[in-house]
A and B are shown apart, each in its own frame.
Chain A
Amino acid sequence: MTHQEALYSYCLRLGDNALIQSYRLSEWCSNAPLLEEDLALTNFALDMTGRAQALLTYAGQVDGSGRTDDELAYRRSERKFRNNLMLELPNGDFAFTIARLLLNATYEYYFFTELRKSADETLSAVAAKTLKEVKYHMTHATDWTLRLGDGTNESHRRMQAAIDALWMYTGEMFETDEADALLQDKNVAVDMAPVQASWKAYIENVLKEATLTMPADGYMQTGGRKGVHTEHLGHILSEMQYLQRAYPEATW
């Protein structure tokens, strides 16, 4: 694997995480439990779409193919996507969405804190901008986790069920491969061990305060790094890419 290939793969992974996450959050538009929350979730989706644009554009440049952000988002097939599996799972109920946002935004907060120090200027600039956004996402998700975890019996039950169901997908966030190793040597990529430790400590605190139980680490489902996804991704793409695929000659 060359440096270029490693960097392309790394950018794609970060860009796809933002893209797929924004897709799922945007599905909440006109579906949230309070009009105010509708606006909040849409704001997060917009933050993530912007991040996806920046990272996919950069991926296209790194790769040398000259592909645009849109070409990468709308003309790639299932096996070429590199996002974490957790992000493509259907939204479920509001508790599931909040639990996922908590687990992922916390991860992103610590991840982008580190990536800000990257020797790659583009990545460090994206990280600096993203950090402000994800800090807010993390705060929002934390506050809702406390309300739902320590709210009513029903909300507690739903929140615990969501955390339990998502736990097997959390290992993948910290998984590293050849690309990570290569880029870490050049201070481009983030060392995941300290990110994981900070993540775990924060999540443990929040869950405890929310009267929720942190699941034990068991089997962890992964595959996104290799493009082996859940069945859900295909449905996302068939919807997201529909116009670009149905009218390949058209520009929009």
Chain B
Amino acid sequence: MTKDSQLATWEVFIQSKPGANYIHAGSVHASDNKMALQNARDTYTRRGEGTSIWVAPTESITASNPDDSEMFFDPANDKVYRLPTFYVMPEGAKAI
């Protein structure tokens, strides 16, 4: 049993409409996954914001370190050939 009597924390991700990405909404406290899901529902979808919810124990989430962000993300900045706008299309070509 944890010393914290407010129960464990769970991260909540809400899908706002069918087919949409799940977006982080915040966290809730709960002792088990069923309670976490219900608590997330009652906390984060009171105004019909959701069609689906994910919950995950906070401790199970690994976040990238902001200090690594240059090493992680900057090298992707100059790979412009990954973008469709990089390519010159012959005039008159359609549907490409």
Query: Contact: B39 with A40, CB < 8 Å?
Result: yes
Q: How far is the CB of A19 from chain B (nearest CB, A)?
A: 22
Known A34-B29, A36-B28, A36-B30; judge A143-B46 contact (CB<8 A). no
Which residue on B lies nearest to A142, using beta carbons? B34
As a 0/1 sequence over residues 35 to 48 of chain B, the CB contacts with chain A under 8 angstroms (1 = contact) are 10011001100100
By a CB distance below 8 angstroms, the chain B residues around A155 are none
Minimum C-beta distance from A77 to chain B (A) = 35
A211 at the interface (CB under 8 A from B): no
B62 CB–A CB distance under 8 Å = no
| Chain B 11-48: CB-based contact to A (< 8 A → 1; otherwise 0) | 00000000000000000111110110011001100100
Question: Which of chain B's residues have a CB closer than 8 A to the CB of A43?
Answer: 42, 46
- Asked if B60 CB lies within 8 Å of chain A CBs, one says no
CB of B6 closer than 8 Å to a CB of A: yes
Q: What is the number of residues of chain A that contact chain B, defined by CB distance less than 8 Å?
A: 11
- Cβ–Cβ contact B43 & A143, under 8 A: no
CB-defined contacts of A140 to chain B, threshold 8 Å: 38
Separation of A34 and B32 alpha carbons in the complex (Å): 14
Asked if A36 and B42 sit within 8 Å, CB to CB, the answer is yes
Of residues 27 through 54 on chain A, the ones whose CB sits less than 8 Å from some CB of chain B are 34-37, 39-40, 43
Name the A residues within 8 Å of B32 (CB-CB). Answer: 147
- Would you call B38 and A143 a contact (CB within 8 A)? yes
Q: Which residues of A contact B34 (CB under 8 A)?
A: 143
Q: How far is the CA of A36 from the CA of B34 in the complex (A)?
A: 13
Give A41's nearest chain B residue, CB to CB. B42
| Distance of A173 Cα from B21 Cα, bound (Å) | 45
CA distance A143 to B39 in the complex (A): 12
Chain A residues with Cβ below 8 Å from B35 are 36, 143, 147
Contact B46 A36 (CB under 8 A): no
**Chain A residues with CB under 8 A of B31:** 147
10 residue pairs A–B, Cβ–Cβ below 8 Å:
A34-B29, A35-B29, A36-B29, A36-B30, A36-B35, A36-B39, A43-B42, A140-B38, A143-B34, A143-B38
Binding site for B on A (CB under 8 A): 34-37, 39-40, 43, 139-140, 143, 147
5 smallest CB-CB distances across A and B, nearest first, come from: A36-B39, A40-B42, A39-B42, A43-B42, A143-B34
